[in-house]
Structure 1
């Protein structure tokens, strides 16, 4: 999926007009002042929208009282007469009871019984005439079969052989028609008793304009009518063969004569539900509700909450400012809660808060949970189904764990308020949110969804069970609530993944999922870099290892640092031969160029790298590494050559990289790792002491030159970065065992070395730094500029 997002970014940027200023120009610099008005307006709109999502029936008064507490306060007297409202559970129970008390309505149709009995009598008389004719050949059997077929009756050969004996039974017509009439007189329902809309044991029968109420057990449904028919036939005929044949003859004439009236039944059910009172008692004016130091009982809580709701209803009916006060108070309450997040963003995440797009993303993540809370309230289902952790995970994935945690606290408080101060949900949401933050703050594989599901389900199971046990909740309800929490924990990571994919493209932000995709060395850009500039490719991989270790040491985003290091030098794809790490044959094109032209070529790999990255659809977070990994450093070697050639003053700015300086910890780390890797690789005998001295010298040089002034790195961070660099480099340049054949060839090698006119390379950038623009540890002007040195450039 991130590959699709990368392709969409590439196409979008291809169509978009590039209005960014050239890196390093005045227009590209960050503004000194930021207008936060749009960001604050987003939060105000969120507060307004949430205000009108609050359920009107919820109240804030007396929510701190619990059954069994001792009430401390002034005596509460009823200021007016008001009803004692039922709890939602009590009201639903009464509604269900009223619904089940409505008897289903059936309409009796006596014409059905008369018609079916008449048809049965006619059939039996016809069959008797055909049987009494005395002919029992095949033609007569065919005639009987055709007669039965007209009535939809099919008899087996055994039944056809039994038919003459049945018809010769005395009073057979009267017996069968009488049985049918007896069943019809009781009544046959056209609806199975198990499918009746209510649980009432009575039914209402409408017949000839009159209506009677009777017990349901006195009437048959279709299955019971068939059983009754079989029983009556056995009593009347006795012989099982005769009973079987008579049953097959009579069954088609057994039709329901009581037809269910669904419309009238539903009307009566709706009326019964409407008539269910929401109040279960009254509190009279000036009646004492509770006194000081009195133990709180369930009856006290019911009266107090009913009083609060009655006060809210009266205030709403007054109109004017009084009716608006509840909305104003809710809005101000939400402003206080959301203000916590705004203050945090302003002080701790200024870069995030400075971007209105990112602020809008945060607001939308919060709005998702408030909207789901509103829908849960409307559906009147458990608050444990509210996916608070979706907001938590989105903020953590898109930004960081700190913002995810603060967002968890804010979201949980808003949800608790919207549930009518049901702050048990708040506590459960905070616990689940902390687990969610710990699960997604470091996404390094696609299995994070499954791992997060398991952790969240476990967190909800444990937390909900603990809270329900503290409330002495019945076991059956405890199991249901735990199941609600488990469902929430299972679905939230799935929703998060889907929303993250959509929001990542909509707001052009980069997540760890995208970085994982970009870290694949089979990415087209990296493969092209490996083919066209193999030295730069391997250098980038080593820089990535150094940057990742350093980022881990100071708590920065190690994945972003590693991926940024992979792509920081992609601008060298076009002219790889101008950079020392790609000059395998020893020829240096810079020997034939002026210093200013060489400096221009080196600086151009920054600009060209940005263009290639945009064409490939790389995110802005990666492009920042390309822009900032050289900062505004001076290309000292070519600057000194130009000064010697011109014998005068030069514009130093022409020999500096365009910048800007590193703006984040990750880009600053890559700048240091880039220089350190090149310097240490140029060491002839990289011992532990020389490696540490070189690393320390490079970091100190960048610090003294002010290249780290705009990054948030501290001195403690720099010390930890230095230790991480040394540890990784010591693992690469560790000492090796000298084998015998190497010892034999060593004198010849040393002799060849002594005979060479090429001096030892400079410790920092004599070999690697001059041509690609990395400054040496020491002042280049103090070193001789001989032909060998030019070759190393």
Structure 2
């Protein structure tokens, strides 16, 4: 038993949790935000493509944003760096070192010749001359080779022999002059490691063209390979700095602009284009979830949702606290986002955002329609990469469309509104195109698209209205006017079967409309609600006095039974209204138009006939609901006032006003107006409106004076006048 009780408590807590209005609003908001986020994210995420290097593109692929072609940029940077020439710097003392080598070379030649000649002179006349001469030459050659070896010069043996033993002083001088002049010429030029071989060849060419002996040329050409040194070298630091600057030059960056074609149909896919597609996350093969895109979109959707919630909480409380209206609002918003997701791929100018503003303006609230238009414009702009033409059109024409349809009370007026919206679209887009100097072909094309958008939006709106009205039990002026048509089946039935109730309802409708309009309520809803408020009397029309022709059946019934029959008409009316699919707001008026008021006549009858003090007042009250809206309260007052005034015998303006104010005060004192938002000022305005309507119905008439018989010849005249007077009084009573 304890477990069953605990289980029952848990189930009860769950039901209470799910029925909590805050929980319901939170759930509706959460579902709407999640679905809106998924739709917008799907629309904002670029399409993926399957391509490979060397393949032929089957797509026209546009860049969704500015993107750097990294492969081409790298190629440009390397090329720019390679084109920077090395920065050269002088090598200190390089010319001096070359001159010193030349000086030392000829010093060694001179020293070797002197040494050799001295030794030859000392052995002249000796028997061993040849042997000693050879030894002297070898010793001198060894010392000479060692000396030039230190200079880095290598000569052939024959060349050394010639320089030491055969070359005359004049020959050596001519060789020295030739080498020095040519070296000086070459050293005036830039000599680097890179062009050293070239400079050596220049030196050899110069020596070869000089006018010296062949043997000397041969020596000079050999020496040329060793005496030149670079006088300039590369400045590595400065060269690197310049090449780095050229590499990092912004002009190397190759950017593909937003909207620019990356690939066209038939293009060969190159490595750089493939890399661009990968960087843009447009490849199916390397696709990855874009967390930054999703996070940004989610943040914006949350901000927009919070803004709309705060707006409704402060300015549209009726929608904010009504679960059905919130669901309707969510359905409209998600529907437009879904349509926009699939339409913008053809053209953003075809997105029918006006459907939302028109539906919300007609079904819910004008101010809310404008706020939702702003929210939807921002959300859709995320999917279409902030297309400014759509944004201008949605904000301006969307706002106009909300105002245009807010007062439309006929479907043909909605059609006219569609044409007006289309015209505004055309003028707006044409103005934008003219500002940006677009060609006439573009202007005509875009004007055609937005005109079709306006017409299409209105057609869809008109088509959706009946479905949304019936699904969400929403009352619109169009729906109310249709219900107010005398040919409406239930009203026609009321006219045929309960004509008295029908005419009573018409009068209550006139009173309710005037009074509701005076306090700023929905006057049309009050009128139509009044038309249907007594349809429950159709079940037993003869039990209500306005329909009785031959006696009153209540004379033969107990007060309790009569009360039961009388009070049952509100529930009978509600069931009948459900059967005929009458909207909920009118059914509420049917249930609330008597509230819990006392059926005073039968209550007093019971007290008199039963002669008992145990007659309970609660048994003679309606078991309805006290009015919760201004319109229901006004219908209650109008119903009571019409019946009371109709039963008056002396219908003077003063007495009618007194009775009206007394009835309103009695309802107020009885607590019947506790649950609606009527103020004392509103009640005074209602009373004045009632009085004004009755003054037009029971208006004063001028009395005809009595005509006395003054002459026998006019004896029949008074009777004719009295007959006419009787007809006038009869007409006024009707």
Q: Name the counterpart of 2:141.
A: none
Q: Which has the larger radius of gyration?
A: 2
Paired with 2:656 and 2:21, the residues of 1 have a C-alpha distance of 40
Native 8 Å contact 1:47 1:335 kept in 2: no
Post-superposition offset of 1:492: 0.8
Query: Residues 211-239 of structure 1: CA distance to partner in whole angstroms, max 9, x if unpaired?
Result: xxxxxxxxxxxxxxxxxxxxxxxxxxxxx
Matches of 1:372 and 1:360, distance apart in 2: 18
Cα distance change on mapping 1:745 and 1:619 into 2, 3 Å: farther
Listed as ranges, the matches of 1:69-468 within 5 Å are 83-88=254-259, 91=261, 95=264, 270-272=265-267, 323-349=290-316, 352-354=319-321, 356-379=323-346, 381=347, 383-468=348-433
Q: 3-state DSSP class of the match of 1:271? A: coil
Residues 628 and 662 in structure 1, CA contact (< 8 A), matched pair in contact too: yes
Query: Deviation digits for residues 448-489 of structure 1, max 9, x if unmatched?
Result: 232112221222133333444444544543343333222211
1:534 positional shift: 1.4
2:688 is matched with 723
Question: Does the alignment pair 1:700 with 2:700?
Answer: no
Deviation at 1:356, TM superposition (A): 4.6
Q: Return closer, same or farther for 1:446/1:427 CA change in 2, 3 Å cut-off.
A: same
CA contact (8 A) 2:353 2:398 kept: yes
Distance 1:520-1:609 versus aligned 2 partners, 3 A rule: same
Distance 2:308 2:479 in 1: 27
CA 330–618 in structure 1, closer or farther in 2 if over 3 Å, else same: same
Q: Which residue of 2 aligns with 1:629?
A: 593
1:44 to 18, 30, 33: 33
C-alpha distance 466-726 of structure 1, shift in aligned 2 (>3 A): farther
Q: Displacement, 1:278?
A: 7.4
- SS where residue 43 of structure 2 aligns? coil
Question: SS at the partner of 1:53?
Answer: helix
Alpha-carbon distance in structure 1 between the residues aligned to 2:664 and 2:700: 25
Cα deviation code 1:638-657 (max 9, x no counterpart):
22333443432443222111
In structure 2, distance between residues paired with 1:742 and 1:389: 72
Name the CA distance, whole Å, in 2 between partners of 1:365 and 1:742: 74
Instruction: List per-residue Cα deviations over 1:81-126 (Å, max 9, x = no partner).
Output: 86422443x539x95xxxxxxxxxxxxxxxxxxxxxxxxxxxxxxx
Higher relative helix content = 2
Contact 1:44 1:335 in 2 (8 A): yes
Residues 1:667 and 2:662 aligned together: no
Counterparts of 1:480-495 in structure 2 under 5 Å? 480-495=445-460
CA shift, 1:366, in A, is: 1.0
Write the mapping of 1:462-541 to structure 2, written as runs, cut at 5 A: 462-541=427-506
Distance 2:653 2:468 in 1: 48
Q: Would you say 1:710 and 2:705 are equivalent positions?
A: no
Partner SS, residue 596 of structure 2? coil
Is 1:641 the counterpart of 2:621? The answer is: no
Shift of the alpha carbon at 1:438? 2.2
Which stretch shows the higher mean deviation, 355-364 or 616-625?
Answer: 355-364
1:662–1:711 contact (8 Å) kept in structure 2: yes
Distance 2:435 2:492 in 1: 60
Does the residue aligned with 2:568 lie in a helix, a strand or coil? helix
- Summarize the Cα distance change of 1:453–1:323 in structure 2 as closer, same or farther, 3 Å threshold: closer
Contact kept, 8 Å, 2:65 with 2:257, in 1: the verdict is no
* 1:602 equivalent in structure 2: 566
Q: 1:650 to 1:52 in 2, by over 3 A?
A: same
1-structure distance, mates of 2:448, 2:343? 16
Give me the CA root mean square deviation: 4.0
Once the 2 structures are TM-superposed, how far is the Cα of residue 337 of structure 1 from its aligned partner? 0.8
CA pair 714-522 structure 1, distance change in 2 beyond 3 A = same
Q: Which residue in 2 is equivalent to 1:35?
A: 24
1:674 to partner: Cα distance: 1.1
Does the 8 Å CA contact 1:412/1:429 hold for their aligned counterparts? yes
Superposed displacement of residue 496, structure 1: 0.9
Asked if 2 retains the 8 angstrom alpha-carbon contact of 1:543 and 1:674, the reply is yes
- Measured in 1, the distance between the counterparts of 2:268 and 2:661 equals 81
Asked if structure 1 preserves the Cα contact closer than 8 Å seen for 2:40 and 2:337, the reply is: no
Q: After alignment, is 48-57 or 485-494 more displaced?
A: 48-57
CA contact (8 A) 2:358 2:401 kept: yes
Distance 1:273 1:681 in 2: 91
Q: Give TM-score, length-normalised by structure 1.
A: 0.56
Does the 8 Å CA contact 1:60/1:421 hold for their aligned counterparts?
A: no
CA change 1:48–1:515 in 2 (3 A) is same
- With over 3 angstroms needed to count, the CA separation of the structure-2 counterparts of 1:718 and 1:425, relative to structure 1, is farther
Tell me: CA distance 1:679–1:80, structure 2 relative to 1, closer, same or farther (3 Å). Answer: farther
1:78 Cα deviation after fit: 10
C-alpha spacing 1:721/1:459, structure 2 compared with 1 (3 Å): farther
For residues 348 and 450 of structure 1, what CA distance do their matches in structure 2 show? Answer: 29
For residues 662-681 of structure 1, the C-alpha deviation after alignment (integer angstroms, 9 at most, x for no partner) is: 12222222112212222222
Counterpart-to-counterpart distance in 1, 2:268 and 2:331? 39
Taking structure 2 as the reference length, the TM-score comes to: 0.60
**SS of equivalent residue, structure 2 residue 255:** strand
Residue 38 of structure 1 and its aligned partner are, at CA, apart by 2.6
Which structure has more relative contact order (CA 8 Å, sep 6+)? It is 1
Question: Contact 1:632–1:661 (CA<8 Å) still a contact in 2?
Answer: yes
- Measured after TM superposition, the shift of residue 745 of structure 1 is 7.4
Shift of 1:659: 1.6
CA deviation after TM superposition for structure 1 residue 710, in Å: 1.7
Partner Cα separation in structure 1 for residue 268 and residue 480 of structure 2: 58
Cα pair 1:82 1:310 within 8 Å, conserved = no
Q: 1:520 to 1:500 in 2, by over 3 A?
A: same
Displacement after TM superposition at 1:539 (Å): 0.5
Taking the aligned partners of 2:720 and 2:65, their CA distance within structure 1 comes to 88
Which residues of structure 1 form unaligned runs of 5+?
1-26, 63-76, 96-269, 283-305, 753-766, 768-793
State whether residues 24 and 323 of structure 2, in contact with CA within 8 Å, keep that contact through their aligned partners in structure 1. Answer: no
* Aligned residues between the structures: 501
**Partners of 1:662 and 1:668 within 8 A in 2:** yes
What secondary structure does 1:414 align onto? helix
The whole-number CA distance in structure 1 between the counterparts of 2:66 and 2:616 is 74
Q: How far apart, CA to CA, are the structure 1 residues paired with 2:454 and 2:340?
A: 16
